[in-house]
């Protein structure tokens, strides 16, 4: 039987309950978002531009604060504790690390220095081993370890940003649009490595993507967000079979063949998911 609730996959690691987020005290971006991330699995958060996906991730990681945003209602429970509006460094220590959109590597630091910043909050002595593990998953980074990150390609920077986050030893890794601006083959490679890390290291992943096809290829469970709300959720198989998801996010029309953009637009106006 197909899992129809995130609970069917495993214990819930993170539970976002009906949160509303407001920027600069006035601009409301999220209108009651709820979602659950099962431990040890990959959860995808999909949706069009401006739906509030990035804001949802930032609310979880605490990175709303530098953007002057705030969770004004609802709760974010991580292993039973409400972490809404906590500072990002406290949330990293609890085990949630976000890879920011657009990679944001430290351009003037070498690849290895970037990775070491990832481990800056750690007090244990296993950083060296963890560095080797990252080089094992991303052999390209091992070859580039002394290069300035600013001179690495987009794909290498994305791998570096993920590696840097992993060095903080997250229990939950948040990925924001890892496919942004990358060639399809590279996107495939990066998602495969993420799936491999999830399977071998047991790191839970919540990935925000516009590219629904590639995200659903590795995710176990998915949410679709529109205009600041969750519009649809389900297991990967359920979402892949859903006719609306097929049409709007996977680009497959009901009749086969592509519809003209104009038709899609008018159809969208008549019927969204809600």
Partner 1 sequence: MSDFFQFLISGIAVGSIYALAALGFVLIYKSSRVINFAHGQLIAIGAFIAYALAAWLKLPIALALLAAVLATGLLGFVVERVFLKRLVGQPIISVIMVTIGLASVLDGLMYLTPFGSGNFSYPAFLPQEPLRLAGITVSYPQLLAVGFTALFLLLFGWFFQRSTLGISMRAVADDQMASMSVGVSVEKVFALAWAVAGVTAASAGMVVGTVSGLNQDSLIAIGLAVFPAVILGGLDSIPGAVVGGITIGVLQNLAAGYLNRFVPGGGTELVIPFVVLLVVLWFRPHGLFGTEEIERV
53 contributes a contact to partner 1 by CB under 8 A: no
11 contributes a contact to partner 1 by CB under 8 A: no
Q: Pick from 41, 86, 164, 220 the residue near partner 1 by CB under 8 A.
A: 164
Which residue in 234, 253, 255 sits closest to 2, CA to CA? 234
| Least Å from the CB of residue 220 to partner 1 | 25
| Least Å from the CB of residue 122 to partner 1 | 9
Q: Pick from 106, 189, 229, 259 the residue near partner 1 by CB under 8 A.
A: 106
| Least Å from the CB of residue 188 to partner 1 | 22
Binding segment (CB under 8 A) for partner 1, from list 8-16, 46-54, 146-154, 216-224: 146-154
Which residue in 118, 163, 124 sits closest to 142, CA to CA? 163
| Least Å from the CB of residue 21 to partner 1 | 17
Element (H, E) at 158: helix 154-166
Q: Pick from 5, 11, 73, 108 the residue near partner 1 by CB under 8 A.
A: 108
What's the sign of the alpha-carbon dihedral 57, 61, 63, 65?
A: positive
| Least Å from the CB of residue 94 to partner 1 | 10
246 contributes a contact to partner 1 by CB under 8 A: no
179 contributes a contact to partner 1 by CB under 8 A: no
Annotate 199-262 with DSSP letters as a single string. Answer: HHH--EEEEEES-HHHHHHH-SEEEEEETTEEEEEEEHHHHHH-HHHHHHTS---TTSSPPPHH
User: For the chain, percent helix, then strand, then coil, each to nearest 5?
Assistant: 40, 25, 35
User: 274: which 2 tokens?
Assistant: 């809600």
Nearer to partner 1, 59 or 230 (CB): 59
Distance CA 56, CA 52 (A): 6
Q: Count the site residues for partner 1 by CB under 8 A.
A: 35
Nearer to partner 1, 164 or 220 (CB): 164
Say whether 82 sits in a helix, a strand or coil: strand
Distance CA 137, CA 197 (A): 8
Q: Pick from 121, 136, 243, 254 the residue near partner 1 by CB under 8 A.
A: 121
| Least Å from the CB of residue 42 to partner 1 | 20
Do 47 and 225 contact (CB within 8 A), yes or no? yes
Distance CA 76, CA 248 (A): 29
183 contributes a contact to partner 1 by CB under 8 A: no
The residues of the shown chain that bind partner 1, judged by CB under 8 A, are: 61-63, 66, 68, 88-89, 91-93, 97-100, 104-109, 113-114, 116-121, 148, 150-151, 164-165, 167-168
């Amino acid at each position: 039987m197909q899992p129809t609730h995130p609970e069917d996959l495993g214990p819930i690691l993170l539970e976002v309950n009906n949160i509303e987020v407001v920027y600069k005290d006035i601009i409301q971006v999220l209108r009651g978002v709820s979602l659950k991330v099962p431990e040890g699995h990959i959860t995808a958060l999909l949706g069009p531009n401006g739906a509030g996906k990035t804001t949802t991730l930032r609310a979880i990681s605490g990175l709303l604060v530098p953007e002057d945003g705030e969770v004004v209602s609802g709760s974010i429970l991580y292993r039973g504790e409400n972490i809404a509006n906590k500072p990002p460094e406290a949330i990293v220590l609890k085990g949630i690390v976000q890879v920011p959109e657009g990679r944001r590597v430290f351009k003037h630091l070498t690849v290895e220095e970037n990775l070491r910043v990832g481990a800056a909050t750690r007090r244990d002595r296993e950083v060296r081993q963890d560095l080797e593990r990252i080089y094992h998953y991303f052999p390209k980074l091992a070859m580039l370890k002394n290069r300035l990150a600013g001179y690495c390609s987009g794909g290498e920077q994305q791998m570096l940003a993920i590696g840097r986050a992993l060095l903080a030893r997250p229990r939950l890794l948040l990925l924001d649009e890892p496919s942004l601006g990358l060639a399809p083959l590279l996107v495939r490679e990066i998602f495969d490595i993420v799936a491999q890390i999830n399977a071998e290291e047991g790191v839970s992943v919540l990935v925000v993507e516009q590219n629904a096809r590639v995200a659903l290829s590795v995710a176990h469970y998915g949410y679709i967000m529109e205009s600041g709300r969750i519009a649809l959720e389900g297991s990967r198989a359920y979402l892949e079979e859903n006719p609306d998801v097929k049409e709007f996010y996977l680009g497959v029309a009901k009749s086969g063949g592509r519809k003209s953009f104009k038709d899609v637009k008018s159809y969208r106006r008549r019927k969204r998911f809600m």
